[in-house]
């Protein structure tokens, strides 16, 4: 029984970690390429989840089409967001970008509360109650799919970043903006794509998690601050660092929560972040002194 309990916790932790990673990597990509901290990032996760809920509950759309539609819409939203609001922001004015995206988050979050109320909604898909039984372990199908899709997204992101021209351009801008400009990379095109991908990842995370947890307008709020902590722990500017830190946090939260239910699980992210800032400011995997 004990081993199964561990394994169950581990699986839950990995699933949550993958979700954290999707959100944190998007945030890290946007920060790396545009030097903008996207306060509204969690809201796109929430919108993805809400949209997925409505597709499934109101229009009976199946799981896979829902995920595809939501991700596609999220990517488009990313383009719109960039062109409408972010294109005029420049990296030097850090405070302006935080406040602008904070304003956006206020509009989206409170708008959602106004339209949908704060009552959580459970998405009942065909998967909700299906489990795969492996020995003594119950592996909920919805979580397994979440894990699988998350890993697929990582693989896709890796391919884009390391094996396409535009992906390499993004990494170039993230590492050294001036040098990238000098070799002729178009910052606008690269930034636009970075935002589209970042928001797309958030939307995907929301769609994939909708069948697992309850959906409500405030769900993005708590995630986004943990995502900030994660990218600092992983090292600002390091996308893979964000992913690893996210996975570690997910597993840590799950294990700690399982064995020490009295401890403040939510605080772990922030306490770890403060510890990292004090002991190793460039983060676990950061290279530059970007902090």
Partner 1 sequence: MNPPRTASGMNAVPLRALAVLAGLMALFAIPKLTGNDYLLALGVSFAALSVLSGGLNLVYGYTGLLSFAQVGFFGIGSYTAALLVTERDWSLWAGVAAGGGLATVVGLVIGYSSLRLSRHAFAIVSLSFALLCMIVARDWVSLTRGAMGIPGLPTPTLSLPGGIRWRIAQPADFYYLLLGFVVFAHAVIYLVVTSRLGRAMRAIKLNEPLAQSHGINPLAYKLLAIALSALLAGMVGGLFVFYLTIVDPSIFDFYYTETMLIMVIIGGPGSFWGVLLSSAVLTALPDLLRFTTDLRMVLYGAVLIAAMLLCPGGLGGWLHRRRVARWRQPRPAPRS
Nearer to partner 1, 68 or 113 (CB): 113
Is 58 one of the binding residues for partner 1 (CB under 8 A)? no
Is 119 one of the binding residues for partner 1 (CB under 8 A)? no
Is 156 one of the binding residues for partner 1 (CB under 8 A)? no
Is 134 one of the binding residues for partner 1 (CB under 8 A)? no
Nearer to partner 1, 94 or 129 (CB): 94
Beta bridge partners of 140: 131
Footprint (CB under 8 A) of partner 1, residues 221-280? 221, 225, 228-229, 232, 264, 266-267, 270-271, 273-274, 277-278
Q: Please pick, from the candidates 96, 188, 280, 287, the single residue that binds partner 1 as defined by CB under 8 A.
A: 96
Q: Please pick, from the candidates 3, 80, 107, 132, the single residue that binds partner 1 as defined by CB under 8 A.
A: 107
Nearer to partner 1, 108 or 204 (CB): 108
Nearer to partner 1, 229 or 247 (CB): 229
Is 80 one of the binding residues for partner 1 (CB under 8 A)? no
Residues that bind partner 1 (CB under 8 A): 37, 85, 88, 94-96, 98-100, 102-111, 113-114, 221, 225, 228-229, 232, 264, 266-267, 270-271, 273-274, 277-278, 281, 291
């Amino acid at each position: 029984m004990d081993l199964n309990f561990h394994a169950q916790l581990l699986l839950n932790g990995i699933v949550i970690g993958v979700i954290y990673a999707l959100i944190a990597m998007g945030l890290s990509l946007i920060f790396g390429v545009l030097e903008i901290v996207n306060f509204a990032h969690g809201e796109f996760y929430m919108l993805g989840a809400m949209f997925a809920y409505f597709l499934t509950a109101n229009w009976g759309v199946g799981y896979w089409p829902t995920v595809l539609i939501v991700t596609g819409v999220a990517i488009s939203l990313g383009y719109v967001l960039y062109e409408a609001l972010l294109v005029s922001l420049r990296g030097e004015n850090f405070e302006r970008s935080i406040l602008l995206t904070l304003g956006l988050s206020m509009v989206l979050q409170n708008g959602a509360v106004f339209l949908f109320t704060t009552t959580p909604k459970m998405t009942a898909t065909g998967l909700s109650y299906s489990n795969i039984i492996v020995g003594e372990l119950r592996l909920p199908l919805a979580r397994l799919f979440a894990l699988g899709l998350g890993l697929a997204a990582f693989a896709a992101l890796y391919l884009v970043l390391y094996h396409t021209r535009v992906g390499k351009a993004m990494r170039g801008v993230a590492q050294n903006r001036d040098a990238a400009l000098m070799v002729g990379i178009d910052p606008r095109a690269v930034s636009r794509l970075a935002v589209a991908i970042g928001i797309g990842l958030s939307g995907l995370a929301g769609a994939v998690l909708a069948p697992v947890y309850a959906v409500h307008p405030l769900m993005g709020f708590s995630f986004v601050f943990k995502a900030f902590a994660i990218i600092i722990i992983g090292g600002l500017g390091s996308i893979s660092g964000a992913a690893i830190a996210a996975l570690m946090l997910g597993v840590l939260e799950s294990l700690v929560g399982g064995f020490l239910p009295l401890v403040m699980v939510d605080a772990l992210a922030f306490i770890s972040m403060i510890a990292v800032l004090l002991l190793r400011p460039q983060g676990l995997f950061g290279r530059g002194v970007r902090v």
